[in-house]
Amino acid sequence: MVMPVARFGFGKAAKEEIAEAKEEKEEMSIKALLSEYGLIALVFHFSVWCTSLATVYALLTLGLADSLAGVLGRLGLDGGALNGAAGLAGRATATFGIVEAIGPARLALTVAATPKVSERARQYAAVRDAEAWVQSQIETITAKLGGGSKQ
């Protein structure tokens, strides 16, 4: 007995099913991410940004600048600019440039990880209370701004 190829996930029928599934699954936009996960998404993204800054700065300080000559060249810096009197300013500039260059990867990480992080974090009452407080503050500010513009 010969089994149809599509039954094992190969062939035209399986490819069509995969294409349909991809069309049905929409990617979460930033607005939707912030609407659904709010405070957790912001805190997670900010902590990834801070971690990126600290890691890149530490790597540049520990002498990785020589290994990153190609990246630094694209930013208009050379490895020597990170040493000497202007070393701190050079490292800070290079750090910020590199962290901003990897921004799309950080955003992808936020979009991919926030649902699971949120699921775990919302198990704790303190997180739920903080989210409720922030939401009430946003609603208060929005009402004040919205009420002031009607006059």
Q: What is the pLDDT of residues 118-137, one digit of tens each?
A: 999 999 999 999 999 988 99
Is 71 domain-assigned?
yes
Domain count along the chain: 1
pLDDT recorded at residue 130? 92
pLDDT of residue 78: 57
Per-residue pLDDT at 3: 43
Mean residue pLDDT across the chain = 75
**Does the structure show a pLDDT above 90 at 20?**
no
Residue 14 has, within 13 A of its CA and on its CB side, a CA count of 8
For the CA atoms of 17, 19, 20, 23, what is the dihedral angle to 10 degrees?
160
Query: What's the pLDDT score for residue 139?
Result: 87
pTM assigned to the model? 0.63
83 band by pLDDT with thresholds 50, 70 and 90: low
The answer as to whether 109 is a domain residue is: yes
Could you tell me if residue 22 is inside a domain?
no
Whether residue 24 has pLDDT greater than 80:
no
In a domain, 14, yes or no: no
* HEC letters along the chain: CCCCHHHHCCCHHHHHHHHHHHHHCCCCCHHHHHHHHHHHHHHHHHHHHHHHHHHHHHHHHCCHHHCCHHHHHHCCCCHHHHCCCCHHHHHHHHHHHHHHHCHHHHHHHHHHHHHHHHHHHCCCHHHHHHHHHHHHHHHHHHHHHHHHHCC
Euclidean distance between CA atoms 43 and 19, whole angstroms: 34
Find the radius of gyration of the CA atoms of the chain.
24
- Domain membership of residue 134 (yes or no) is no
- pLDDT grade for 21, boundaries at 50, 70 and 90: very low
Residue 58 has pLDDT above 50, yes or no: yes
pLDDT of residue 124: 93
Considering 6-15, 24-33, 55-64, 108-117, the range whose residues carry the highest mean pLDDT is 108-117
Its domain, for residue 41, covers: 32-123
- 75: pLDDT confidence band, cut at 50, 70 and 90? low
Is residue 25 included in any domain, yes or no?
no
